[in-house]
Homo-oligomer: A and B are copies of this chain.
Amino acid sequence: MKKFMNDPLKFVDEFIEGILYAHPDKLKSINGDLKCLVRADETKDKVGIVTGGGSGHLPLFLGYVGKGLLDGVAVGNVFASPSAQQMLDVTKEVNKGKGVLYLYGNYGGDVMNFTLASEMAEMEDIETKHVLGADDVSSSPKGEESRRRGVAGIFYAYKIAGACAEEGADLEEVARLAQEAVDNTRTIGVALSPCIIPEVGKPTFTIGEDEMEIGMGIHGERGIRRSKLEPADDVTGAMLDKIFEDFEYKKGDEVSVLINGLGATPLEELYIIYRKVYKTLEEKGIKVYKPYVGEFATSMEMTGFSISILKLNEKLKGYLDVPCETPFFKQL
> With A274-B18, A293-B22 given, is the CB distance from A232 to B192 under 8 Å?
no
The listed residue (B15, B192, B293) touching A2 by CB distance below 8 A is B192
- Segment of A3-11, A80-88, A115-123, A172-180 engaged in the interface with chain B: A3-11
A272 near B58: Cβ-Cβ < 8 Å: no
- Segment of A45-53, A134-142, A295-303, A314-322 engaged in the interface with chain B: A295-303
Q: Is A124 an interface residue (CB 8 A)?
A: no
B275 near A232: Cβ-Cβ < 8 Å: no
Q: Is A267 an interface residue (CB 8 A)?
A: yes
> With A268-B11, A273-B18, A275-B15 given, is the CB distance from A235 to B298 under 8 Å?
no
Q: Is A229 an interface residue (CB 8 A)?
A: yes
Which A positions have Cβ atoms within 8 angstroms of B? 2-6, 11-12, 14-19, 21-22, 55-56, 58-59, 192-193, 195, 209-210, 229, 231-233, 235, 263-275, 278-279, 288, 291, 293, 295, 298, 300-301, 303, 305, 325, 330-332
The 9 closest A-B pairs by CB, nearest first: A18-B271, A18-B275, A264-B264, A58-B267, A4-B269, A15-B271, A266-B300, A15-B268, A4-B232
